[in-house]
Chain A
Amino acid sequence: MAVTDGELRGTNRWTRARIGAGVALNVALAVAAAFGLTVLAGRPSARVRVDLTADQRNRLDPATESVLSQLPEKVQVDVFFRPEAQPLTAAFAEAQSRMYDVLLLAADTRPDKLKLVQHDLSGASTGDSVVEQRMAELGVDRVNVFVVSAGDRRVVVPIFGEVAEFDIGFMGQDPAQRRLPSMISFRGEEALLEALLQVSLTDAPAVYFSYGQGEPDLYGDESVDLGKLHSELVADGFRVARWTPAEDGPIPDDAAVLAVMSPKQPFDANESEWVRAFLERGGGLVLAANPFAGGDADVVGALARDYGVVVGPGVVCSPYRSATGGLVEGDAQVAGLTILPDAMNRDHAITAPLRRAGRPVRQNFSRPLELSRAPDRGLLADLFGTLPGQSWVEAPAPGEDANWAYDEDSERLGAYLLAATSVFPPQRDGAFVPEAVQRERPECRLFVAGSHFVFSNGNFATNRDFARNVFNWATSREFRARISPRSIEDRRFPLGADDSLHRLHLVSSYLLPLLATAAGCYVAWRRRRNPLRSQ
């Protein structure tokens, strides 16, 4: 509001107050307008972002952009990063920083679809901090992860293994062999994309666990029960229920996966037929053998054999290390096996992430498996087993007790398969893709484990990711995303190789300031010589 001369002439107190109020209103309106414009400019529809860099390093892959734009609801990404201990401190910090840049870019590209929250973990040691509360809400029990969540669905993505792989280096005596710890691969955008795909699924596949044949309790909290598996599957977006063949009849139509865990009694002919029909028309079947069942009671053995996986008799054993470091056998602890990442299939969707992350799998009382002939146009895969020459199969004769010790006369040291899969096209009419399964064509998927202990509460802390991978694989929810490789040019000065950095230092730190000083001196000199002209 312009103040006219007329208004200023002969002003009194009220006129001044009126003018002051007018100006104050003017200012307030201007500030409000500026703020409003700023907020409007941040709206996704009004916003334009142009990457000026030569290698387009500030753009997400079109696949990620597409998934972000199609998210049905806004997702939140909670970041729980903390410095890693030596020797990986620097390499890990690089992975964290690159991952955070990807997350920031995603949040900046679609702020209407993705909210990024970085948590400060410096105060998260008292047990009651806001950060720890949030971690508890999300069910996160470790740091250096980010959690992608939408509604009740959430995916925990660890830096180690899922986002980046590291080489811990080698600091031996020989200088020629020394290697600094480093990051050897980074797949941050793929990890984010996979997590976004996973949380954006709105349909929950149904998993039925057979019940009534002496299976372990699906809701129990004993170490042999499956309560933790049940909770994890629910948190991972599955609907979990029991299938009692004697009461329910055929497998429900909405089933995506049927799990048969260590049954003690056999299915009758009808029930076996229902299971086979379900698998052969495109369902997912997860079988875990009962280590103590044989003959007619060996339901799992009979089912698996038809699809190329033979479940052998006995229990795979391996000597364990005592507190003093010696190898011990002679008690049931030899039936507890730890499968190291090196003994896992590096290409299978179930084991590849575990191998990358260096995560072992625990198994107990497992029966040995063997691959035989694959079903018509099918494919068999061994997932993991014991290493050659370190284990044997304890198979006592009927009526005898196991002695849990290697007997070279009757037992053979070797490598034994503990888990396998079989995939094949539907073999029956009426092939179907189960509801809520992310697969275009019908495909039968069978997973077989030597015992259910690989899913049991007692081993669940170690095997959580393995268990999730198995059920996600059975429903084709592997979420392996592929991002086109980027060729970001490394723009570096060759340190120490030549003196180019020194020359840059001379130009930027000395030459430019000296030029400015010289120009200032010249102006001062001209001004002194001819003060009137230079005014």
Chain B
Amino acid sequence: MILRRELAGLFLSPLAWILLCVGLFVVGWNFTTQIEGARGDVFVGMQFAAGGPLYWGVMIFLPPLITMRMISEEARTGMLEFLQTAPVTDTAVVVGKFLAAWGFMALFWSCLLVYGLAIDLLGVDPDWGVVLGGYLGAVSVSALFCGVGLLCSAMTSTPLLAAFFGIIANIVAIRLPQLAALPKAKWLTWSSGQLDLVSGMQRSWLIGVFDSQVAVLFGVWTALFLFLCVRAVEARRWR
């Protein structure tokens, strides 16, 4: 019920369609430019479309912009209080909202599958393993960043502030190994190395490899942020 409501809310708002249109243009333009730059090499083009700087740029901004209103707006308008008094648990509320945002991102990144299909129809075998890997990788990163975005949305009543915090958190998540290397502490460098999202993507999904370590990394930390989000929603009852 919550998932349906959230999906309807998303697709009825002009913001989602604007983000979809702009995002698709940026990713599509990046994809063909990269293929052209790689002298027609589809493998390299797909790697950059699902892992280049523009890809990470879209990943940093899009999920927080999708999730920013999901909890904060409802808290501001009082809808959240109404939901919390309804016969649904806080977990169901958070998971429903998360699935809606994640579904939107999965739909957005399905453009990679369309690119693969277009390449196939144009007579070049795209290596579906790499295409599928790129898509699953994008969906994994989206799940994590939607979780982060929802947590930020649960922690403030101002959607724009939630988006801002979400964007900052995503940048920190991506640059974690570089940031952790600044104090030159070995244990910190090692710890951040375990959580290196970019190199995790580069050595698995982007080259067409399923790596259980990377799958667990994204799965576990997405679950953690959802857990924290449930706690943050629950904490609103105390206020």
Q: Which residues of A contact B (CB under 8 A)?
A: 2-3, 8, 11, 16, 19, 23, 26-27, 30-31, 34-35, 37-39, 41-42, 46-55, 57-58, 104, 108, 489-495, 500-501, 503-505, 507-510, 512-513, 516-517, 519-520, 523-524, 527, 534-535
Contact = CB atoms under 8 A, between A and B. Distances in A.
B14 A524 contact: yes
Contacts of B188: none
B17 A503 contact: no
Contact of A35 (B191, B211, B228): B191
A41 B212 contact: yes
A192 B204 CA distance: 22
A72 B100 CA distance: 51
Contact of A516 (B21, B115, B126): B21
B40 A492 contact: yes
A274 B238 CA distance: 95
| Residue of A19, A52, A55, A58 with most chain B CB atoms under a 10 A cut-off | A52
Interface stretch (B22-30, B50-58, B59-67, B173-181): B22-30
Contacts of A503: 118, 122
B94 to A, nearest CB: 14
A108 B41 CA distance: 25
Nearest to A51: B209
B79 interface: no
Interface stretch (B69-77, B153-161, B214-222): B214-222
Contacts of A38: 194-195, 213, 216-217, 220-221
Given A31-B224, A34-B223, A509-B25, A501 B42 contact: no
A491 B125 contact: yes
Interface residues of B, number: 64
A47 B213 contact: yes
B207 interface: yes
A504 B32 contact: yes
Q: 10 shortest A-B CB distances, which residue pairs? A: A520-B17, A52-B129, A508-B28, A41-B216, A493-B40, A492-B40, A53-B208, A48-B212, A509-B28, A513-B25
Contact of A51 (B111, B208, B213, B217): B208
B30 to A, nearest CB: 9
Contacts of B114: 507-508, 512
Given A34-B221, A493-B40, A494-B40, A501 B125 contact: no
Contact of B127 (A16, A491, A535): A491
26 contacts: A2-B234, A35-B195, A38-B217, A38-B220, A48-B211, A52-B129, A52-B132, A52-B208, A53-B129, A53-B208, A492-B42, A492-B124, A493-B40, A500-B124, A501-B40, A504-B118, A504-B119, A507-B28, A507-B114, A508-B29, A510-B25, A513-B25, A516-B21, A516-B24, A519-B17, A520-B17
Contacts of A49: 204, 209-212
Contacts of A2: 234
A259 B119 CA distance: 63
B123 A500 contact: yes
B186 interface: no
B216 A512 contact: no
A328 to B, nearest CB: 50
B89 to A, nearest CB: 10
A46 B115 CA distance: 34
B12 interface: yes
Contacts of A527: 12
B111 A512 contact: yes
Central interface residue in A495, A504, A519, by most chain B CB within 10 Å: A504
Nearest to A503: B122
A492 to B, nearest CB: 4
Contact of A42 (B18, B39, B194): B194
B125 A8 contact: no
Contact of B21 (A491, A494, A520): A520
Contacts of A512: 24, 28, 111, 114
B164 interface: no
